[in-house]
Structure 1
Amino acid sequence: MRIYFLCGSLVASLLCISMPAYAIYRCEASGKISYSDMPCPGARQLEIRDSQIDSPSSAKKQHIENKKALEKVENARHRETEAHYKAQQRVGKQRAALEKKCAALSRRQQYASEDVRTAPQKSVEKARRKANRITEQYEAECKARRSELLAS
Structure 2
Amino acid sequence: MRTTMVAVILCALAHPLAAQTIYKCTSSGKVSYGELPCADGKATALAVPPAPSSAEAAAALERDKALLAMLQKERAAAMARDDRASQRAARAAAGTRQKCNRLRLQEKWAQEDAARADKATLSSARLKAKRQAEVLAVQCPA
Q: TM-score, normalised by structure 1?
A: 0.64
Q: Is the partner of 1:121 in helix, strand or coil? A: coil
The answer for the alignment partner of 1:71 in structure 2 is 69
Whole-Å Cα distance in 2 between the matches of residues 36 and 116 of structure 1? 93
State the superposition RMSD in angstroms: 2.8
Structure 1: gaps of 5 or more residues: 1-15, 26-34, 40-44, 145-152
Give the structure with the larger helix fraction.
1
The answer for the alignment partner of 2:11 in structure 1 is none
Identify if the C-alpha distance between structure 1 residues 66 and 132 changes in structure 2 by more than 3 Å, giving closer, same or farther.
same
Shift of 1:48: 4.7
Matched ranges for 1:50-89 at <5 A: 50=50, 53-89=51-87
Whole-Å Cα distance in 2 between the matches of residues 62 and 24 of structure 1? 30
Q: TM-score, normalised by structure 2?
A: 0.68
Structure 2: gaps of 5 or more residues: 1-15, 26-30, 39-44
Identify if the C-alpha distance between structure 1 residues 120 and 77 changes in structure 2 by more than 3 Å, giving closer, same or farther.
same
Whole-Å Cα distance in 2 between the matches of residues 63 and 112 of structure 1? 73
User: Is 2:117 aligned against 1:119?
Assistant: yes
Identity %: 23
The answer for the alignment partner of 1:138 in structure 2 is 136
Runs of 4 or more consecutive aligned structure 1 residues displaced over 6 Å after TM superposition: none
Q: Which has the higher contact order (CA 8 A, sep 6+)?
A: 2
Shift of 1:116: 0.8
Q: Is the partner of 1:18 in helix, strand or coil? A: coil
Shift of 1:23: 4.3
Preserved CA contact (<8 Å) 2:20 2:48: no
**How many correspondences in the alignment?**
113
